[in-house]
A and B are shown apart, each in its own frame.
Chain A
Amino acid sequence: MTELSIQNGDPRKVWARLGDVPAALYLLVILFVGLSVASPYFLTQANLINIVLQASVVLIISLGMTLIIITEGIDLSLGPVLSFAGVVFGAALVAGWSFPVAMIAGIVAAMLIGGLNGYLIAYHDLQPFIVTLGTFGLAMSFAMSISGGESISGLPSGVQWFNDGHILGLPFPIWATAALFLLTHILLKHTRFGRYVYAIGGNRKALQLAGVRVNLWQTSIYVYAAALAGFASFIMTARTNAAHPTVGMGLEFDAIAAAVLGGASFSGGKGTLFGAAAGALAVATLRNGLNLMNVAAEWQSAAVGVVIIAAVAGDAIRGRT
């Protein structure tokens, strides 16, 4: 279809094609140009790696969030799910479980919440917003009660090692993020799972009439998103070398912001992982820039908020088709 639109010189079509470029990319370009002029430190390798590191957790969550938003859903529970998974991971390590087993325990904990989300949303046709608001509280309480409300520290040295390790000059967490991005990309573009993510958002009923077990697939999407949040919790835990029961606070909103900046639409059927990744990077770059410009931390959230509203408004003006 790309060829079709381009061979057609209609300026409105060209405008529409520009509209296909997610706001996140514009934002990234603007920020990069602006900040590299404004601060000599911005374009240093250390700072760029720092931005990507800062973006990584939100980026991973935004991958699952994007899949869910494509299905016309939303998952507010992913932040607390990350906390929950991290706390389970930390508690398991402290209890002397081996690294992989503790990891699996954390992921399974996350997937259980995701499964509950998916089950209620797909099989019982409950609103994603309401269901995940409920499991938001549930996951938060689980995280609190397992950790007794305190950070779990005294983790084995492997955790620190993961955070500090490098390959080819890039920290492990960035490689892990890239791997999860690639995995999700392949799932979305080259498997049934991904095909049905789009089809559920495009026409759920049609998929059902095509004889597909839609409820099962839809549930699996929430499970996958939760599993990603579980993976992200390891990066988070490694970063601070401790598992905090509230560390995921607000991450779901950054992930939603990243997905939306990346072109996902709440009316479903639309969204890309490249967009979401660009969105997560844009938000992290914005925060980084505000830091470099010495903007007080309390105003950074406001800046992110304004950018999101501007992006959505721009989307509406371009006219969503």
Chain B
Amino acid sequence: MTNPSVPLIELRGATKKYGGVKAIDNVNFTVYPGEVHALCGDNAAGKSTLIKCLAGAVKRDTGDILINGKSVQIQSPRDAKRHGIETVYQDLALADNLNVAANLFLGREVMRSGFARIFINHGFMEDEAATVLKRLKIRLPSVRQKVHNMSGGQRQCVAIARAVYFNAQLIILDEPTAALGVKETEMVFDLVREMRDQGHTVIMISHNLNHVFDLCDRVTVMKTGVRAGTLKVREATQDDVVKLIMAGGRDFDQSRDALHSAPDLAGCA
């Protein structure tokens, strides 16, 4: 249904100011279907702001969003979800006092049918939650466990599973391993790998270039609010990326020439 040479999502000329600070400044950003796209850059480079524009979590000042080549309105998280964009935020956005299943379905509770449709269908949601966790090979003691009592890695997995469950066209992960230990980081990356193998399109913000080179197809580097450039991971070295992060670049996009061939993109779809 999706054409690998048409971008799944495209952000054009996006700017977001906070007071006098331009968090992002006239940024173009393109993601193709089936790719895992890394977003790198120093602290405060504007990575989170960029993805929040796509997620509808901030109102951008200028800029257009296209999905499968068609212009769309994304002004709120509701809009983004309606267009199949699911986001795992840096701070996870889980309600600690609710259990795993309740968090997974937060805002999209499944109701009973018929006269009982004002009642939440706890059993269904718990079963579904267990199923999706199993599919993603996430092991948790119980879907009835409150998120509060769980480790950072487990919480991260719940947040990711929530994004995956609703058959998102695009899953955005903001520093999914920032607060995690080595083992937990592995757990989350296994999960991202699993998602990639299942054909999901993923944007992942990360500071860890080893992971980026291990997992991703392309990488976009942000530098003080502007895009330094987008590289194909296969055709770049970690040094190239480091240079872009440190010194910036002239807002280029290697994917332009990939538009018609896109061999490495096809490989992971």
Contact = CB atoms under 8 A, between A and B. Distances in A.
B123 to A, nearest CB: 12
Contacts of A191: 118-120
Interface string A1-24: 101100000000000000000000
Contacts of A269: 95-97
Interface of A: 1, 3-4, 186, 190-192, 195, 198-199, 201-203, 205-212, 269-270, 321
B77 A209 contact: yes
B93 A203 contact: yes
Interface in B44-73: 55, 57
A206 B120 contact: no
A1 B93 contact: no
Contacts of A208: 77
Interface of B is mostly: loop
Interface of B: 55, 57, 76-78, 81, 87, 89, 92-99, 102, 106-109, 111, 118-120, 122, 141-142, 144-146, 148-149
Given A1-B145, A190-B119, A195-B102, A207 B97 contact: no
A135 B211 CA distance: 55
Contacts of A212: 106-107
Given A199-B102, A205-B93, A209-B87, 14 more contacts: A1-B99, A1-B146, A190-B119, A198-B97, A202-B98, A203-B94, A206-B92, A206-B95, A206-B106, A207-B95, A210-B106, A269-B95, A269-B96, A269-B97
A144 to B, nearest CB: 39
30 contacts: A1-B99, A1-B146, A4-B141, A4-B142, A186-B119, A190-B120, A190-B122, A192-B109, A192-B111, A195-B98, A195-B102, A195-B106, A198-B97, A199-B95, A202-B95, A202-B96, A202-B97, A202-B98, A203-B94, A203-B96, A205-B93, A206-B92, A206-B93, A209-B77, A209-B89, A211-B76, A211-B78, A211-B81, A211-B107, A321-B148
Nearest to A1: B145
B70 to A, nearest CB: 21
A25 B133 CA distance: 38
Given A1-B142, A1-B145, A195 B109 contact: yes
A224 B85 CA distance: 34
Given A1-B146, A209-B57, A210-B108, A270 B120 contact: no
Contacts of A3: 142
Given A1-B149, A210-B77, A211-B76, A198 B119 contact: no
Contacts of A192: 109, 111, 120
Q: Which 9 A-B pairs have the closest CB atoms?
A: A210-B107, A202-B95, A206-B93, A202-B97, A269-B97, A211-B78, A203-B95, A212-B107, A199-B95
Nearest to B99: A1
A210 B81 CA distance: 8
Nearest to A208: B77
A67 to B, nearest CB: 14
State the main secondary structure of chain A at its contact with B. helix
Contacts of A205: 93
A198 B145 contact: no
B163 to A, nearest CB: 11
Nearest to A3: B142
Contacts of A207: 95, 106-107
Contacts of B108: 210-211
Contacts of B102: 195, 199
A240 to B, nearest CB: 36
A210 B107 CA distance: 5
Contacts of B57: 209
A270 B106 contact: no
B97 A209 contact: no
Contacts of B120: 190-192, 195
A211 B56 CA distance: 10
B93 A199 contact: no
Q: Most B CB atoms within 10 A — which of A192, A203, A208, A212?
A: A203
Nearest to A192: B109
A202 B122 CA distance: 19
A192 B107 CA distance: 8
Contacts of B94: 203, 206
Nearest to B102: A195
B8 to A, nearest CB: 20
Nearest to B106: A210
A246 B142 CA distance: 51
| Residue from B81, B87, B106 having most chain A Cβ neighbours under 10 A | B106
A4 B145 contact: yes
Contacts of A195: 98, 102, 106, 109, 120
A295 B56 CA distance: 62
A11 B89 CA distance: 36
Nearest to B82: A211
A205 B55 CA distance: 14
Contacts of B76: 211
